[in-house]
Amino acid sequence: MTADPTTQTLAQLGDATPEKVAARFAEVRARFDEQAAEHSAKKDAEEWKSFVVAWTGRKSGALTNIGDNWLKPAPKELKPTVGQELNKLKAHVEATLEEKRKEIEAASEEAAAARDQVDLSLPGVERAIGTRHIIRQTFDELLRIFLSIGFSVVEGPEIETPYYNFEALNIPEHHPARDNMDTFYIEGPPDGRAGSSAAADKRATAGKYLLRTHTSPMQIRTMEKQAPPVRIVVPGKVYRRDNPDSTHGYMFHQIEGLAVDTDITFCDFKGTVEYFVREFLGPKAKTRLRPSYFPFTEPSAEVDATCHVCGGTGCRVCKFSGWIELFGAGMVNPAVYGFVKYDPEKLSGFAFGMGVDRLAMMKYGITELPLLFQNDVRFLRQFP
């Protein structure tokens, strides 16, 4: 194609009659139409923009060029023709561009809508459904058993005071259980005294707060609040400064039990324990009480059950004794009643404290305690 005619004057182009001018405009219009037709198909935003600028751009678009080069310098007798032709061309270009702009916009909206379309016939994304953690399952099973014989569930704070964790449970100041080796002592909240510093707060709360080392403090808190009879179980987390190994961690789970009334005997204690063992391990399990010691029970006992693996004949799991140690228990020490203003002459009861992690490991044959807390799904999936 020759150089763009709109950059030359009509004189340079040799168009001196209205007919020639009209033909020249017709030629420009045809070129525009041809380019416009191409553009609707491409739908490229950048190319579309430069096409629009090439024709309508204020500085050097074709329409501006025609005004500058054809209309302005045109001889008087041609000017009306050039003016009319230019107006017609302008109207045509603008109308066409507007139409195309709408077309292109609609097409891109359609494309976007097509992209966003949801195919309802596609198979859904399958989510792995979680299961209750093995500890949770064990808690649920233990609670089910005790709820079935009239116990109710209460929970208590994990941050305790030495009074509830020790003193009121008849564990005196120099008892080995109060050794710093076993207990996490923590700083309490700032006491808010005017002018107190962090260091002063630390000194003021030293030894005042600890992480409970067992769920037994809830025996005291419950009896303080509630008149007898009491029949509660307390599930929860407890903390001890143990060195972590395959059966120890700094945190584990317990379930406490307490029953106090005017007529509870050692027989009730034994019957409850036996019922629990049969429910938890199966009807064939036998129970044995071994003498033990806890400051807050008297007498105290360790409850053993016949080994759930060999049934009592002896195997590796029960170290060939036929028995498995389950938990500590006993009749409530009358000394404890003194701390909660219960009358030791009229009341009696029993208490027990079970290690839930231990029971879960035993029941499901798990030998490594850390597995319970590492949250490896390959382990967790084995207990659906």
Q: Note the residues at the interface with ligand PHE (CB under 6 A).
A: 214, 216, 256, 294, 297, 328-330, 351-353
Smaller CB separation from ligand PHE, 93 or 232: 232
CA-closest candidate to residue 212, choices 169, 172, 265, 153: 169
Tokens encoding 109: 């909206």
Least distance in angstroms from the C-beta of 350 to ligand PHE: 8
Least distance in angstroms from the C-beta of 258 to ligand PHE: 8
Q: Helix, strand, coil shares of the chain as percentages rounded to 5?
A: 45, 20, 40
Smaller CB separation from ligand PHE, 299 or 314: 299
**Closest-approach residue to ligand PHE (CB):** 353
d(CA 151, CA 93) in angstroms, rounded, equals: 89
Smaller CB separation from ligand PHE, 96 or 297: 297
CA-closest candidate to residue 285, choices 308, 315, 317: 308
Contact 234, 154 (CB under 8 A): yes
- Extract the runs of DSSP E, i.e. beta strands, from 185-322: 185-186, 209-211, 230-239, 251-261, 287-294, 297-306
DSSP 8-state code for residue 68: I
Contact 299, 291 (CB under 8 A): yes
Q: Which residues of 139-175 are buried (b: 16+ CB within 10 A; e: fewer)?
A: beebbebbeeeebeebebeeebbbebbbebbbbeeee
Least distance in angstroms from the C-beta of 260 to ligand PHE: 12
Smaller CB separation from ligand PHE, 166 or 323: 166
Least distance in angstroms from the C-beta of 328 to ligand PHE: 3
Least distance in angstroms from the C-beta of 127 to ligand PHE: 40
Least distance in angstroms from the C-beta of 142 to ligand PHE: 14
Least distance in angstroms from the C-beta of 250 to ligand PHE: 15
CA angle 239, 250, 290 (to 5 degrees): 70
Tokens encoding 31: 């070129």
d(CA 283, CA 211) in angstroms, rounded, equals: 37
Smaller CB separation from ligand PHE, 89 or 329: 329
Least distance in angstroms from the C-beta of 177 to ligand PHE: 8
Least distance in angstroms from the C-beta of 294 to ligand PHE: 4
Smaller CB separation from ligand PHE, 15 or 302: 302
Smaller CB separation from ligand PHE, 235 or 330: 330
Contacts of residue 174, Cβ cutoff 8 Å, sequence gap at least 6: none
d(CA 256, CA 154) in angstroms, rounded, equals: 10
CA-closest candidate to residue 200, choices 187, 186, 185: 187
Smaller CB separation from ligand PHE, 217 or 312: 217
Smaller CB separation from ligand PHE, 307 or 329: 329
